[in-house]
């Protein structure tokens, strides 16, 4: 693997219940929400998407599912981690269409720190374990095998740097209103 390559686990198995339909397939400026995210990841970065297989523009994407399917974001992160190699790994929610460039920023912070993670903090001061870069070995110690249920916030048990990420880069799409706000900000 290239020294600059960082594997990325994309958590994409949610039910989109608040959105009312598949939010990752929703149109955002002529692209799906998921394609918008994947397009912004550097081409050299290997990508594992954890969720139902779907058509995407990016080539080389590996697909897997958490056990059981629908087992939640922590289970998805653990399933994706089982397929990645390298000292650090990015983890991002598939419904964060503008988060791709943030992972490079977080990677730089992590590599210059002695912590186990660099975690994005949104405008409201909330740390997001699904927009973060982790030391792979630390996550594997915390989650040594498959995880059923559990909250993604468990990843915040790792020693981490909090990195402010203002604006749309830290926003996700949970509702049609969220999508409309992101469309207006384009």
Residue of 44, 45, 51 lying closest to 23 (CA atoms): 51
- List, in order of start, the domains of the chain with CATH numbers: 8-185 (3.90.550.10)
What phi-psi label fits residue 20: left (phi over 0), alpha (psi between -120 and 50 degrees) or beta?
left
Task: List the chain pLDDT tens, one digit each, 186 residues.
Answer: 445 789 999 999 776 667 666 889 888 989 999 999 999 999 999 999 999 999 999 999 999 999 888 888 999 999 999 999 999 999 999 999 999 999 999 999 999 999 999 999 999 999 999 999 999 999 999 998 778 878 999 999 999 999 999 998 998 888 778 888 888 865
Claim: this prediction has a pTM higher than 0.85: yes
Helix (H, G, I), strand (E, B) or coil at 161: strand
Q: Do β-strands 8-11 and 88-93 pair in parallel, antiparallel, or remain unpaired?
A: parallel
For residues 103 and 142, give the distance between their C-alpha atoms in angstroms, rounded to a whole number.
Answer: 21
The answer to whether 165 and 121 have CB atoms below 8 angstroms apart is yes
């Amino acid at each position: 693997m290239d020294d600059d390559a960082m594997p990325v686990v994309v958590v994409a198995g949610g039910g989109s219940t608040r959105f009312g339909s598949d939010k990752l397939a929703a149109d955002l400026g002529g692209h799906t929400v998921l394609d918008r995210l994947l397009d912004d990841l550097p081409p050299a970065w290997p990508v594992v998407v954890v969720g139902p297989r779907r058509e995407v523009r990016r080539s080389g994407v590996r697909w897997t599912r958490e056990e059981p399917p629908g087992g939640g974001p922590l289970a998805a992160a653990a399933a994706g981690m089982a397929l990645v190699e390298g000292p650090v790994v990015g983890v991002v929610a598939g419904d964060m269409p503008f988060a791709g460039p943030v992972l490079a920023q977080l990677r730089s912070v992590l590599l210059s720190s002695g912590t186990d993670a660099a975690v994005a903090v949104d405008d409201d001061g909330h740390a997001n374990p699904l927009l973060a870069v982790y030391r792979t070995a630390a996550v594997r110690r915390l989650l040594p095998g498959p995880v059923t249920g559990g909250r993604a916030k468990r990843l915040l048990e790792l020693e981490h740097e909090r990195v402010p990420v203002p604006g749309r880069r830290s926003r996700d799409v949970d509702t049609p209103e969220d999508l409309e706000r992101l469309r207006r900000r384009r």
